[in-house]
Chain A
Amino acid sequence: MRKITISLALLIFVLTTWTTYAQNSIFFAGHVYIEDDNTGKQTMIPFATVRFYDVNNPSKTLATRISALDGSFDLKGFSTDNTYIVKVKAPGIEEQSFITRPNNGRVKSGNLSTHTRLQVDKNYNNPVKKQSFSPESISGEKNMTIERMIQKLPNLEIVDNDIMTKNGGSVRLMINGMNIDGSAFAKLKGYPVAGVVRSIDYYDLSCFDDSAYDGVVNIRLLKGKEAIAPDYKLISLKPYKK
């Protein structure tokens, strides 16, 4: 009995220690896409709002993400041993729900795939409109910085390193079509646009109901890779039915 108690105590101790670290080491990552039933061609869907819910408390949003230009999104800091409902609402497509599978030790590090294949009509076309601004097209200022150029774009402003629409709407920032971490804009904003920026594209999402953001600003740099669709076949999470 004593040995069992000791073993149990040590096990619990090790588990709490391990899980404290483990919470941050494995994360969810996936793409939002559509697939042609006939050809099997997969097309990535950008600017989809991806919301995570606990399967036991589906009324409360745990986290919200937006898919990048290559349809990718990720979610860190959540236990991958739990089961989540993933609700995806892409512009011009009805909201669709999926369910994650608990990791249960399958993946030891890295990420757990959470690809979501949306069902659409054959005639679906992405309705999001893009406005593209090159540094040259914005009336000239000497040594104009990235921050200054964004401030000059119509209907946008910057508040404490956050880009917002002038009526207070949230705007997502992407670099070369990819989501970036929280400190990237603060580091980047002081750079001159000349010789660095190819263009700044603005995607207006304000007309789409249920979008987490009112718009997306994508800074396309002259150097570096742009977001591209994966060159492998994606396998989707299973749809969630109540």
Chain B
Amino acid sequence: MKHLYILALFFTMVENIFSQVQLQGIISSSNNGKTVPIEFANIVLYSEADSTEMIAGTVSDLKGNYLFGHLETGSYRIVISCIGYKTLSQPIRIVMPSSGDMLIRNYTLEPDSKQLSEVVVEGQFRHQYIDHASYTFTMQDIKSARYSKDLLAKLPELTVDAQSQKIKSMKGGSLLILVNGATATDNELKMLPPDKVLRVEYYDFPPARYAGVGAVVNIITRSLNNGYGVGLDLSHAFTTGFANDNAYFAYNKGRNQLSIEYALNYRNYRKRESNELYRYTLKDEVRESQYFRKDKFGYATNTLGLKYTNQMIDRYIFQIAFKPNFENRFSNGYSDITNTFGDHKELYYGTNDNKTRIFSPVIDMYFWKGLSKERGEISINLVGTMFRTSVNNKVYEYLQPDLLQTLEDKMNLENRKRSLIGEVAYTKKMNFTNWNSGYKMDAGWLDSDIDNLLGSFDYRSHYIEHYLYSEISGMKNKYLYRLSLGGKYVMEKSYSNDYNQFVFTPQILAGYQINDRNTIRLLFTRDTELPSVSDLSNNAQVITSDIISKGNPLLVNATQTITALMYTLNHRLLNLNAALLYSYTDKPIHQYFTEDGGNNYIALTKENAAYGKQYGGYLSGQFKPFGKDIFSIKTSAQFFREQVKSNLVGNIFNWYIPVDVETIIQTKKWMLSYQYRFTSRSLQGAYLIRDENQSHFIARYNHNQNWSLTAGMLWMFTPSRYHNETVPGSLVYHRKETKIRDNKSMFVIGFSWNFNKGKDYKVNRTLINEDKDAATF
């Protein structure tokens, strides 16, 4: 292992910016006699003696500029390609420059009307960098897509979630979507026409500023025209309450743009069934409680977005967004309960009624300024969020057969959380290196009042996290590197806890591009996970007559260190990402049962375990047996041996092997998709939690670029299932099996319409901050 670290360090330190001759110039095209720079053209230098030997490659910037450093004098062949233009291929002689050490060569490409109209280009172009893969699309891809979201779904690493109809990562984990560096909602992806997408960057290891995000997708667009975009998406189930409805509008004039969007996600299920068993020893008595529960549940999430932007391209951007989000959740039902305490068995009847309301307005201000080519660029982001969470929960239990009331718990929870996130970042591009540095501050204040049968409690807490980072990344010949140095300083204060901690969060990525198809990368990373505000609150809630759940104010942050070796194959028939990974987490935060209240009851609470380990690997990719989109299979398979060592449950091992498979048939007008998941159980503290099952079929008919119809069947021939079970060493044996019968063979139909008339809107936003911790309990 030590040698791997040394190798990783070596890769980051090899020749930095040394060069013999630098080659630079502008790629442009002539449009009605006017010279127009071509952005994102691929420029590749090959050996003149051996045209299969690639010497170096780069992409032109927004002004058509390109740069090669460290070239030896000699004869080469330069090949310049860009969608919509004829590929240029000609010899070039690199000589010692007459002045300075820079050789300037400008090139003009001719528009390719044939390619723009009907030509079919085989396969997407994928280029692997140290932390991301860059994709460009064929004209066939673009013509068959209604909006940019359809292009994202073509990436091997991404798919469309059949239930929410949003883009998600095949591998699981959080996904941040950006358009030109600015956060974008699903509706904003629909506002962007596919022919305006130049390329898509998929970051499997996001840069330091996106620390904590699973993966990042950044869509780079062409310049757009003034105009507007408007659209409507409706998707409903007929057999049960299920809806995903969206409406959006954007208007652009000159430097100003205004966009409005609204999304409603609505669920109203009536047939949820669960079977739950608790078995434990309390007061020297073996006790068992079994619940057969049937309830109704659902939610309505209203997302409203207002955004105003004022900008001058390459000079400055000012953006302000306001998002007043509302969410209502409910559940109510009844339970048949069997309590066996010692030899005594009693039957109960229980009812439960829960209402949760969350109001979370967010104001997000962003400013970016380009200083100059030499001085780089600076960005400032300020986000203020307020959460008002109100939970009203009523639980009653009655002893049968006389229905004598034995439990009455009316819980009212009021949470008020305010948070402020501020970030300043500086970016500078140098010859071979991109340099990013920044400072981010995240502060939150929580007031939480709870009222239930255990009494009335209030809880106040405050935290501040300072994050300072500096990162260099780049490519030198076939060697790729990224070195991030960061430090997080965390301060938490509550009535019972007050701790300050510094965590060093370095990241080292080193890679070698064997050839155009094969890349290997080595990763070493260290990061920290903070307990959420609800994890830290000791406000308690009743689960059963003997068991409560509550947070733990004494929790401290967990620190995770990951070492991984990754391999990427990029072939016309097969795109593959494979990795071997070892992860060690110091003091992981998990849920455990523990005795509490002077042996009067048991608490389900969060604890820092001694350590957690994970080793294994994953395999994800896309197989196109015919080399075309007509039929493809996407898959993601993980195989990890998980281990947790805890004072409460001992040393626990588990194999986690989930496999997701999606088969896609796509023609010009039709798209048929079937998603299936082979579920597995993952170890999370005292629990083994099985993934949600999936068996979804979706068919879509694109009538034209403006509207389409969707029909599908979710959870074909099976209800959605959820299964949790405690590990053998747990103080309480708890097993819960839930089925949502409404979901079984749920038939969903959707209609989508949109219209774009172009827009001159292109924000290169570089800071993304959002507080999503609503502090629900």
Contacts and interface: CB of A to CB of B under 8 A. Distances in A.
Contact of B95 (A2, A79, A164, A184): A164
Interface of A is mostly: mixed
Interface string A162-199: 11100011111100000111111110000000000000
B103 interface: yes
Contacts of B489: 6
Interface in B93-118: 93, 95-106
Interface string B296-319: 000000000000000000000000
B474 to A, nearest CB: 12
A162 B502 contact: no
B95 A12 contact: no
Contact of A17 (B18, B437, B487, B504): B437
Interface string A1-41: 01001101110110011001001000000000000000000
B679 interface: no
B106 A78 contact: no
B287 to A, nearest CB: 45
Nearest to B96: A170
A168 B93 contact: yes
Contact of A180 (B100, B428, B430): B100
A77 interface: yes
Given A5-B504, A170-B73, A173-B99, A162 B470 contact: no
Contacts of A173: 98-99
Contact of B470 (A6, A16, A186): A16
Given A62-B20, A160-B104, A9 B98 contact: no
Given A182-B99, A212-B96, A13 B20 contact: no
B17 interface: yes
Centre residue among B19, B99, B433 by max chain A CB count within 10 A: B99
Given A13-B487, A17-B437, A172 B20 contact: no
Contact of A9 (B95, B100, B430, B487): B487
14 contacts: A6-B487, A9-B502, A13-B468, A20-B428, A20-B430, A62-B15, A163-B98, A170-B73, A170-B96, A172-B99, A173-B99, A182-B102, A183-B100, A213-B96
B472 A171 contact: no
A61 B96 CA distance: 13
B95 A169 contact: yes
A2 B18 contact: no
Contacts of A161: 98, 104
A79 B16 contact: yes
Interface string A46-79: 0000000010000001111000000000000111
B16 A64 contact: no
Contacts of A183: 99-100
A182 B501 CA distance: 51
Centre residue among B16, B19, B435 by max chain A CB count within 10 A: B16
B100 A162 contact: no
A51 B99 CA distance: 16
A63 B95 contact: no
Contacts of B16: 23, 79
Given A10-B487, A13-B487, A63 B20 contact: yes
Given A9-B504, A16-B470, A63 B101 contact: yes
Nearest to B437: A17
A8 B73 CA distance: 42
A162 B106 contact: no
Interface in B58-112: 72-73, 93, 95-106
B485 interface: yes
Contacts of B19: 62-63, 77
B96 A2 contact: no
A185 B98 CA distance: 9
Contacts of A213: 96
Interface in A114-142: none
Contacts of B95: 162, 164, 168-170
Given A20-B433, A184-B99, 4 more contacts: A13-B487, A172-B98, A181-B100, A183-B100
Contacts of A184: 99-100
A16 B101 contact: no
B103 A162 contact: yes
Interface of A: 2, 5-6, 8-10, 12-13, 16-17, 20, 23, 54, 61-64, 77-79, 160-164, 168-173, 179-186, 212-213, 217
A12 B485 contact: yes
B100 A182 contact: yes
Contacts of A12: 485
Contacts of A23: 16-17
Centre residue among A2, A9, A217 by max chain B CB count within 10 A: A9
Centre residue among A8, A10, A160, A182 by max chain B CB count within 10 A: A182
B484 to A, nearest CB: 10
A7 B112 CA distance: 58
Contacts of A54: 15
The 3 closest A-B pairs by CB, nearest first: A182-B100, A170-B96, A170-B95
A5 B502 contact: yes
Contacts of B104: 160-162, 182, 186
A168 B94 CA distance: 10
B20 A61 contact: yes
A132 to B, nearest CB: 19
A16 B485 contact: yes
Nearest to B95: A170
A24 to B, nearest CB: 9
Contacts of B15: 54, 62
Contacts of A162: 95, 97-98, 103-104
A179 B433 CA distance: 27
Nearest to A186: B104
A5 B106 CA distance: 50
A151 to B, nearest CB: 13
Nearest to A79: B16
A63 B102 CA distance: 12
Contacts of B20: 61-64
Given A16-B472, A169-B95, A6 B502 contact: yes
A13 B485 contact: yes
Contacts of B431: 77
Contacts of B433: 20
B583 to A, nearest CB: 21
Centre residue among B25, B98, B435, B468 by max chain A CB count within 10 A: B98
A228 B487 CA distance: 53
A217 B15 CA distance: 33
Nearest to A17: B470
A54 B14 CA distance: 11
Nearest to A66: B96
A123 B17 CA distance: 42
A6 B500 CA distance: 12
Nearest to B430: A20
B605 to A, nearest CB: 27
B511 to A, nearest CB: 20
A160 B485 contact: no
Contacts of A170: 73, 95-98
Given A5-B504, A62-B20, A168-B95, A13 B100 contact: no
Contacts of A168: 93, 95
Contacts of B73: 170
Nearest to B72: A61
Contacts of B102: 182
A209 to B, nearest CB: 16
A164 B648 CA distance: 79
A57 B483 CA distance: 23
A17 B95 CA distance: 34
A84 to B, nearest CB: 10
Contacts of A160: 25, 103-106
A206 B300 CA distance: 81
Nearest to B483: A16
Nearest to B374: A24
Contacts of A17: 437, 470
Nearest to B93: A168
Interface in B638-682: none
